[in-house]
Amino acid sequence: MSLRTVLTRVYTFSAAHRLHSRHLDEGANRQVYDKCNNLYGHGHDYTLEVSVAGNPHPLTGFVLPLRDLDQAVHKILARLDYRYLDKEVEYFTSVISTGENIIGYLWDELQRQLPPNMLYHLKLWETNNNYFEIGKEL
Amino acid sequence: MKNITISKKFEFSASHRYWRDEWCEEENRRYFGNSTGPYGHGHNYELHVTVLGNIDPKTGMIINLTELKKYVNDVLESFDHKFLNLDTPYFKDKQPTTENLALVLFDLIAKKLKTLQGIALYKLRLYEKRDLYVDVWQDKS
């Protein structure tokens, strides 16, 4: 048996969105998404916990230098921070900006930014009371 | 029967410094940033200790928390209010990063708990700050 080491760093970003499906009529959208369907949108302070797994480097002691992790995450979050997701982020012009879809997007984008096999888990808090998770051991 | 764990939170404060002798000051600074300061800097660490075991039918507990507290505090005593680089023997040949500190603590606490029957250290979570933490656990594979 060996020890697993996973490093987690917590980030925040703020964004507006509106949950609305083009496959549903106005009444059904209202019914499914309730107040999240508000015509002009609404916003959240999102909190994102990014976990990377690996053995600490023998010389530096880091699983991944924080600077590298910060750089990769900030690059992706800069696209979302202080935006209206559905209108200002291309991906979400055709994908509904639910927490599920946002975390899926972040997983794919971060995979591309980080060294292979490092990204281990993401936890996205939409409010203090609901969060979404995606990861290798889920 | 389902596995049940119990966790207890601990706090300790310590200072540390990241520095490699083989590198010049500029290189250290470039790599470790403001964590290279010659006299160190400090954090209030928070440690979550998670123990796995069977419930003792007589007490209804996996482990008596008072006992767990004593064992863990025995370990933390030599880290609390210390300069990790110089006051502990563990970081002579490695950096006192959150990752390495969590691994050292896992090893020490696991050894302490080995004296207790049916109890195993399952996981540690070590917070250096609210936005930075490391999890260490035994990989079963």
- Non-local (6+) Cβ contacts of B6 within 8 A are B50, B51, B61, B62, B63, B65, B68
Half-sphere exposure of A64 (CA within 13 A, CB side): 27
Report residue A43 as tokens: 């916003």
Structural domain boundaries, residue A96: 6-135
A38 located within any domain: yes
* Chain B nearest-CA residue for A120: B135
**With an 8 Å Cβ cutoff, are A11 and B102 in contact?**
no
Q: What pTM was estimated for this model as a whole?
A: 0.90
Beta bridge partners of A8: A51, B133
Q: Are B118 and B54 in contact (CB under 8 A)?
A: yes
CATH homologous superfamily of B5-137: 6-pyruvoyl tetrahydropterin synthase/QueD (3.30.479.10)
A1 located within any domain: no
CA distance B25 to B19: 9
Is the CB of B102 inside 8 Å of chain A's CB atoms? yes
Query: Positive or negative CA dihedral for A12, A17, A19, A23?
Result: negative
Which ipTM did the prediction report?
0.86
- Domain limits, chain B: 5-137
Assign residue A104 the CATH number of its domain.
3.30.479.10
* B residues 22-51 closer than 8 Å to A (CB): 31-33
Q: In chain A, how many domains are there? A: 1
Give per-residue pLDDT as tens, B2-46: 789 999 999 999 999 999 999 999 999 999 999 999 999 999 999
Give per-residue pLDDT as tens, A79-103: 999 999 999 999 999 999 999 999 9
Tell me the shortest Cα–Cα distance from A25 to chain B, in angstroms. Answer: 42
Within chain B, residue ranges assigned H as helices are: 25-32, 65-76, 84-87, 98-113
